[in-house]
Every structure is written in C-alpha cells, then in structure tokens.
Structure 1
Amino acid sequence: MLNSNQQYLLDLAKMKMPFGKYKGMFLIDLPEHYIVWYNNKGFPKGKLGDQLKLVYELKLNGLEDIIRKIKKDHH
C-alpha cells in the first residue's frame, strides 16, 4: 500500500499534459523552457498547477530522474 506522498509521486509520473502544444506528453518530460515559462506566467489552478510546480522544482534541482524511474517501474 502506498502512502499519500508515494501516491502523489506516482500520479505525477503518470500525468500527461491535457492541452496545448505538448498535449499528451508526460509532465516530467515537458521541455524545461516550457516549465520555466509557466513559473514566470503563473501555473494553472488545481492539481495540474500543483504538479507543474513540483516538476519545476524537480527540474530546477536536477531530480527529475526520480519521477522517470517511478514512471518506468510502474509501466
């Protein structure tokens, strides 16, 4: 059984962009410039915005491979 933090990271690993130029791309695989643009513009409201903020922080700190490993291990 996953705890809530593990489930949140698993959900993030499986989440795809629901709209726009990168529709269908996993959030963790979005280009860094796109995530930075959202950080400057303002993230969407709700769960998607929260997930994009986390992707920004992970990329900023070079930790996106954690999510890629979770994604690989659960496919």
Structure 2
Amino acid sequence: MSYTWQYYDVVLVGIFLSMTAGATVGLFTAVSLPLAVLGAGAVAALIMAHGLFVNGPVDAPRDLTDEVEPLN
C-alpha cells in the first residue's frame, strides 16, 4: 500500500521548509537571525492562511453546522 500526498501534507512541509530556510539564511548570511526567522514566519503564516481560508478543510460552509459526537 503506497501513501498518497494530500494537500495538508504539503502545507505542513511548506511551513517546515520556510522556517528552516529562515533559520539557514539567518545563520549563514549577513541577515540577522531574528529578521530572517520573522520573514520566514510571515511566509509560514501565509501558507497556514491558505490552508485554512482559501482551501479550507470543509467542502461547504454548511459542513460547519454538523453536530459532533461527544468524546465521553
């Protein structure tokens, strides 16, 4: 059985790669580490916003009104 990549897998990888790239730029270039990580965090926030609001985890707004079974 092979694994198929889903959209949210790509979102998580994008967040990881942007933060790793920010840390790498901050450590190995003249850009300060806090500034590089701040910029990478902004990119990660945009990736998260796309995953939440542009391509959200629901098919339609009416899906948000479905009742959830209690965990207890």
* TM-score in terms of structure 1 length: 0.28
Highest relative contact order (Cα 8 Å, sep 6+), 1 or 2? 1
* TM-score in terms of structure 2 length: 0.29
